[in-house]
Structure 1
Amino acid sequence: MDATGQFTSRGEGQLLSGSLLGADLDAIAEVKGVEVLNDGSGSLADPTSAVPLGNDAYSDPLNVEALSALNVDLTRFLALPLDTSTGVVGQYGQATSSGLSAGASGLITESGGIALEPEGGYPNLATLQLSQLLGSVNPGVASALSGVADVSLEVGAVTGRAELDACNLAWSGQVADALTREYLATSLTTVIDSPTVGTLVSTVDGVVGDLETAVNALAGDTGLTTAIADGLSGLLGGLLGTLRLGDVSVELSATIDLDPVRALLTEQLTDSGGILTVDLAGGTIRVDTAALLAASYPDEYSAGLNGLSPNTNILSDPVVVNTLTSTLASVLDEWLERVTGALTAAVDAITVNVAATIELRLLLIPVAEISVSVSGSLAQLLSGEPGFVTVNTKLLGAIELGLLNGLVSALTQGAGLAVGTAVDAVLGLTVDELIGDLVDVTTPVVEAVSLVYSSLFLDGVVVVTVNAQNDPLAGSAEPPDLAALPDGQFDVAALRVGVLDALGQSGVALYLGRGSVGPSCLIGAARC
């Protein structure tokens, strides 16, 4: 049977819809999608500038440039880069007199289908500034996020698509047989800008600076040079025979290379599962929602944000927060271990140079002089190996050179260890104290991130819903603002972000990637 001319129908695609701080996005011309109505005799598209595609279908991309010029709060809270060079990002509506209607928006093909593999990859769609929104709606909630400067949501490519066959519905009476709703959500990233990351870096940098200062101060430490002189003298104590020690002078220099440690302060840290990235230089933590969910529930979220039941609230589960905080703690602890390891390695590699002169006397007369040169890393000197010591002798009076052989041997074998032990005694306590200052230094970062997720997502201040639908045939209940849609209208949105939903129109109910179909009607039927 040819149903042409037998039905009224409606299809609409709207990339951005909902309400934002009292502003009805559907009422803003620059945000409006493409809506197609068919009264049985022909189709009309709104806006009239929509491009006809044939078979009562039309397309109309969101005008981002016009949107950015709006003198409304929208552009303060929502950034829409929409790099259309990476794919077809648009809005599509179809309404035929045979009862077939479709609506789609987001990353779509020319025929209104979901673009699964666009040339150039998936673009980012939008950035929602949560901190600014909360500050406008409820400053008290925003100020409670201690240790956090800013929170935003970065939305990747999305698509929502609905299709309704009203003829099938009229014959079968079963919505499930006539309605298709599907969506695509490629990514959702929470970006947290926290001064706790900067404090973490500055604390470690302070430790590095203090260590560098301590090493530079070794050269002028008279207590250290005295200890080295005593150590060298001690090596000769039982070997002098009739000789006596005269003056012992010591000159020391030491250098440390802390560049490998400082390089760790500008890293981007991530975990093996790609859940988060900590930008130490930028002071931000980026959380990949899809990876976080997959780590928390591998079976349920094996397809990332896709394939989920209607109206899935993806961030309301404490398990998700626990996974995030444990992963972040692990990443930061591993980094801190590398920092302390690099600090320890830098201390072991401190280059120590000592030039000592030991005067020997017979009675009160100087008869010989022994020059000792010690040069090596602190670790090499503490190893006790003799290869880092050079000893030379000089006769000053009547004495047999052979009397000095035992002294030379003792110094050659033991001077390195004596110097290393003296330096380590001065530095060791300082290094232990400095490394001790790093205990729990990562805790404020973990606490700040945990606070964001607990205060915003677990407490329901911000609700992120995937596959948002009214009158769902399965899954969870519809969002309250969708309950007001007309009977026979069926919508789907890839993402819904609600901020303080309890405030109604004064809050935020933002839909991204929305398709809508219906109501449709058999012409002549009583309800038409």
Structure 2
Amino acid sequence: MNRRTRTTLAAVVGAVLVIPLGITATTASWNDREWAHGESIGTGILSCDGDAVLDTRSRGTLLAGQLFGVDLDAVAELEQLSLTVDADDGPQPRPGDAIDLASSPPTYTYANPFDVTAVDIVGVNLTGFAIALPGAQSGAASQWTRGATDGRAAGASGLVNDSGGILVSETTPGPQVPQPARIDLTRLLPPITGLDRAELEIGAVAASAQLDGCAALQEQVWGIAPSQAVAERDYGIAGMEVVLEAPAVEALTGAVTAGVADLDAAVGALVGQSGLIAQNLRANLALAVPGVAAASMAGDVTITGLDLSGTVAPFLGLTLDGDGFAIDLANGRILVDVERLAGPLNNAPPNSELVLNADVVNAIVAEAGALLDDWASDVTEALRTAIRDARLGIALTTSVSAAGYTLATVRLGLDATIGQVLSGDATIGVTLSNQPTGLIVGTINLALGALGLPTLSSILSILGGSGGALTAALANLLTTELMNRVTSLGATLSALSAPVIDVLGGVVNALPTVVSVMVNVQPDQEGAPPGSSFVPAGPRSTAEFAVTALRLGLADAAVPGDVAHILFATGSAGPVDLP
């Protein structure tokens, strides 16, 4: 994912893209600065060298449209900023309390920072749009307009600076942009087992439109070709993704935590003078010679250098990045990159519709399964390695007896890694002491023989050489109590991966029926979405030049005809009128 991180968002503030408002057209090729043009215009003079006196209009609109039955145009806290500069009456900003950014006639500049914290729309959290950036001064996240009686007009909105410059693009470092706004999609999606919540997160957006109205009128009314473009439009989108809260992701990490707790308990049960290892060695020592008994063990068994929780901690905080999605294990989320599914958000032609591609579902599901399988294998392999590297210390003493006689004191010793024990590269040392001597040996042999047991010397020889058999029994115990538990955890993780994949596949498959995306929306250009409008050019006025960074269409899967649309960040410049 262009992340996540994968993320986990990719967005911008490196270079401020400011299109200078001083766009001018030249009339140097004309010797006569008066042109006849019909009765409606008459014979007039229009100079763009600073003498023009024109009426301008511009606006900046952060949000517009309808969402969950709410007309965003009617939400007071989101009221758009518009500015009319009349050659006779001066600037007329709306709302009237818009902030004057040090206007100096003949140029007037206003901003209208908005308070999205006051917006109360169920299922919508727009607070991310309200965070200004360091160095962006007034109106960092704002609606901005500028108009001048010489015919220059500009409008911008979104993450812009106090000169109307766009501060967002697809390459802005994540820490430098505000948090995204969020729209709850849960009720729009069809029922998907294992999905708690689905939110569409919209990164910082911005749009800017600028118009040299004087040059535009010279071209439009008198046919004078401008030396450069009369209108400039730009936009930026930091990123867009769907965030899924699914219990299945938490179940994966929860299973690892539970598995580690089970292993820790198993380790605790193995150690100590009366733990499972001591009991196992005592029983197998007695089994070496049937009829011989081993007393309770004294001493200790230790396992050191083993931190299972620390071993798995890095895996529990991972984000598994795929192509167009990420599985955020630390926060129990799945992130779906809309740009990966639909196409590039930035630098697109006007009115680009980014169709969500359901064909990628199979590829995403397959990759998600492989990522989770690899993750589970990595977790279990890390646990096995940690266990094998742990050090096992055995220092136990017992006495063996038969036929009512104590035959010897047996000392068992080992200092090796568990891995060495499991691979047969370490052997428990067996040391005998306090064996009977003298005439008592004959008496003991008679008693042993009466019970069908070997002689004392034979028993002691067998016990002295029992280290290999004791080690093999110990290896089996360690495999059963530790390694088999790790294998069982791996099987559990494999089973728990399926619900995660089902949620991801179900949402990605449904998204094309729920969300439509259009970027760089320009109402006057071919392919503009239904309902788009702009002010066309008139005999004495330019057209309106507007651009919207992002248009979202949201449809309820249960009622396909119930569609809401939202326009994020619109800048508009024009019309500019001859007085």
TM-score, reference length from structure 1: 0.77
Query: What is the match of residue 79 of structure 1?
Result: 127
1:462 to 501, 515, 538: 515
CA distance in 2, matches of 1:112, 1:219: 70
Alignment deviations for residues 404-450 of structure 1 (CA, whole Å, 9 cap, x no partner): 88557624555433422344356655554443222232221222123
Aligned equivalent of 2:431: 391
Equivalent of 2:380 in 340, 346, 370: 340
Partner of 1:93: 145
Q: Which residue of 2 aligns with 1:514?
A: 570
Retained in 2: the 8 A contact 1:207–1:435? no
Q: Secondary structure at the match of 1:436?
A: helix
Residues 324-382 of structure 1, C-alpha deviations (whole Å, 9 max, x = no match): 54554444333212211133234434847473646366x87544343323454432222
Task: Give the equivalent residue in structure 2 for 1:49.
Answer: 97
**1:214-268 deviations in Å (ceiling 9; x for gaps):** 555557999987864575467x67xxxxxx8621357596767432355246413
Q: Which amino acid aligns with 1:156?
A: G
User: Match of 1:129?
Assistant: 183
SS in 2 for 1:282: coil
Name the structure 1 match of 2:504. 449
Q: Find out whether 1:283 has 2:328 as its counterpart.
A: no
Structure 2 unaligned residues grouped into runs of 5+: 1-45, 443-455, 537-542
Which runs of structure 2 are paired with 1:107-186 in the superposition (5 Å)?
Answer: 107-115=159-167, 122-124=176-178, 126-131=180-185, 135=187, 141-142=188-189, 144-173=191-220, 177-186=229-238
For 1:95-494, list aligned pairs within 5 A.
Answer: 95-115=147-167, 122-124=176-178, 126-131=180-185, 135=187, 141-142=188-189, 144-173=191-220, 177-216=229-268, 228=281, 231-232=284-285, 246-249=292-295, 251=297, 257-264=307-314, 266-271=316-321, 278-287=327-336, 289=338, 292=340, 301=344, 305-314=345-354, 316-318=356-358, 321=361, 324-326=364-366, 328-348=368-388, 349=390, 351=392, 353=394, 355=396, 357=398, 359=400, 365-374=405-414, 376-386=416-426, 388-398=428-438, 407=462, 410-412=465-467, 415-424=470-479, 429-456=484-511, 458-459=512-513, 461-472=514-525, 477-482=527-532, 484-487=533-536, 488-494=543-549
Shift of 1:500: 1.9
Residue 81 of structure 2 contacts residue 94 of structure 2 at CA under 8 Å; is this kept in 1? yes
SS of alignment partner, residue 396 of structure 2: strand
- Partners of 1:16 and 1:31 within 8 A in 2: yes
- Contact 2:311–2:383 (CA under 8 A) maintained in structure 1: yes
> Is 1:31 aligned to residue 78 of structure 2?
yes
Q: Greater shift after overlay, 413-422 or 13-22?
A: 413-422
Q: Is 1:18 the equivalent of 2:59? A: no
- Code of the aligned partner of 1:93: T
Q: CA RMSD in A?
A: 4.2
Once residues 13 and 223 of structure 1 are traced to their aligned partners in structure 2, the CA distance between those partners, rounded to angstroms, is 75
Q: CA deviation at 1:34?
A: 1.9
Match of 2:112 in 1: 61
Cα pair distance change 1:98/1:114, threshold 3 Å: same
- Check conservation: 2:249, 2:329, Cα contact below 8 A: yes
**Shift in Å at residue 199 of structure 1?**
1.7
Q: 1:34 to 1:493 in 2, by over 3 A?
A: same
Aligned length: 489
Deviation of 1:320 after TM superposition, in Å, equals 5.5
Matched AA of 1:205: T
Indicate conservation of the 8 Å contact 1:376/1:388, yes or no.
no
Superposed CA offset, 1:446-474 (max 9, x none): 22123223213x22x1223322222335x
Distance 2:364 2:218 in 1: 50
Q: Which amino acid aligns with 1:181?
A: R
Change (3 A) 1:431 1:26: closer
CA contact (8 A) 1:366 1:397 kept: no
Q: Relative to total residues, which structure has the larger helix share, 1 or 2? A: 1
TM-score under structure 2 length normalisation: 0.71
SS in structure 2 at match of 1:341? helix
CA contact (8 A) 1:391 1:412 kept: no
